[in-house]
Each structure stands twice: as structure tokens, then as C-alpha cells.
């Protein structure tokens, strides 16, 4: 609260003595952080050893009567020992070093989660494109049959045949009238 009131009262440009004081305070805090980072690192090393000891105790020392019949316990005991403390510490992951500067295993889990999402997205995209290709193949026109391959249509019923003949007769009459008009207009000009 005191800090915020002081900041609210500030006006104008920062003076050299203010910047110098800020630099001194910042350097002090950085040294303090480095010191405590080293202490936390030592504590984490001790915790790594404890986690590994507990894991070994759980798998190899504590044994029950029914452990022989439990396939999970048998498989766990048969596996080569893996330092769970080192994994939690971020020293290595899946037998390979973690990314440079990453000591938080959650960063790597997030990365693996993103990779899995990308793989799912790529698979879905591949399936969509395959479905579109199949759809396009179905849409492609099939070979047209030639007229010689097609059988002739069945004859029209009598009442429709009469209508067709009348339609054809009218067409012929109209075309004759058009030709006569054309011939008359060309001869008069």
C-alpha cells in the first residue's frame, strides 16, 4: 500500500539518484534470488533421492503374498529402474534430454499434448481430403453410351402418337410460312 501511494505521487522525469537507487535494489534482489535458487536446487536434489528411494521401496522391498499373481506388479518389477525424481526434476524425458532451459516437466507435457492435437488434426484433415476425393470420383460423369449401344425406345401409345404427328405437322407448316415470307421479302427488295 505504501509503495503504490508513493508511485501515485510521482511526477515528472526520473532523476539520476532515483535510477541509481533502483539499480542497487534490483542488483540486491537478483543476488538474493540467485542465493535462494541454489538453496532450492539443493533441496530438490535431496527430494530426488527420497523419491527414488520410495519408488525402490515400493517395487522391490515391500512384498505381499499375492504379488506373484498380480501381472502389473510383476511387470513393474521386471522393468529396468527409472529415476522418477530425475523425471520430475526435468533432467531427462523418455531417455533423451529435455529442452534447453526447461526444468519444468509440465512444459514438456504441454508440448506433447500439442503434438498429439496436431497429429489428430492432420489425421482428420487427411480423412476429410480422402472423403472429398471419393465424393469427386462419384461425381465424375460416367462414360456416355453411344446411340448405337442404346436400344431404340418403345413405340408411343396411339393417343400420344396422334398428338406428336399434329405437333410435327404444325412445325412443318410454320417453317413453310417462314420460308415463303423470306422469299417474298427478298424478291420485293
pLDDT one-digit tens code per residue, 25-50: 999 999 999 999 989 888 988 888 88
pLDDT above 70: percentage of residues in the chain: 80
Rounded to whole angstroms, the Cα distance separating 16 from 22 reads 10
pLDDT one-digit tens code per residue, 133-174: 888 877 766 666 565 677 777 888 888 889 999 999 999 999
Q: Mean pLDDT over residues 56-68, rounded? A: 77
User: Is residue 76 within 8 Å of residue 60, measured between CB atoms?
Assistant: no
When the pLDDT of each residue in the chain is averaged and rounded to a whole number, the result is 79
The CA-atom distances, in angstroms, between 122 and each of 43, 81, 83, 112, 115 are: 43, 36, 34, 15, 10
pLDDT at position 108, please? 62
Q: 0.75 cut: is pTM over it? A: no
**Which triple of cell numbers denotes residue 15?**
532523476
Q: Mean pLDDT over residues 112-131, rounded? A: 87
pLDDT above 90: percentage of residues in the chain: 20
Amino acid at each position: 500500500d505504501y509503495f503504490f501511494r508513493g508511485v501515485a505521487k510521482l511526477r515528472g522525469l526520473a532523476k539520476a539518484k532515483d535510477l541509481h537507487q533502483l539499480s542497487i535494489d534490483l542488483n540486491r534482489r537478483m543476488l538474493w534470488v540467485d542465493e535462494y535458487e541454489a538453496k532450492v536446487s539443493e533441496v530438490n536434489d535431496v527430494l530426488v533421492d527420497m523419491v527414488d528411494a520410495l519408488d525402490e521401496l515400493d517395487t522391490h522391498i515391500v512384498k505381499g503374498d499375492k504379488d506373484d499373481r498380480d501381472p502389473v506388479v510383476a511387470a513393474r518389477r521386471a522393468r529396468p529402474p527409472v529415476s522418477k525424481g530425475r523425471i520430475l526434476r526435468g533432467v531427462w524425458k523418455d531417455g533423451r534430454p529435455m529442452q534447453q532451459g526447461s526444468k519444468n516437466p509440465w512444459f514438456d507435457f504441454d508440448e506433447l499434448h500439442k503434438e498429439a492435437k496436431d497429429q489428430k488434426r492432420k489425421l482428420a484433415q487427411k480423412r476429410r481430403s480422402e472423403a472429398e476425393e471419393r465424393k469427386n470420383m462419384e461425381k465424375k460423369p460416367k462414360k456416355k453410351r453411344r446411340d448405337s449401344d442404346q436400344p431404340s425406345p418403345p413405340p408411343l401409345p396411339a393417343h400420344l402418337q396422334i398428338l406428336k404427328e399434329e405437333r410435327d405437322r404444325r412445325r412443318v407448316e410454320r417453317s413453310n410460312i417462314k420460308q415463303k415470307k423470306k422469299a417474298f421479302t427478298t424478291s420485293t427488295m
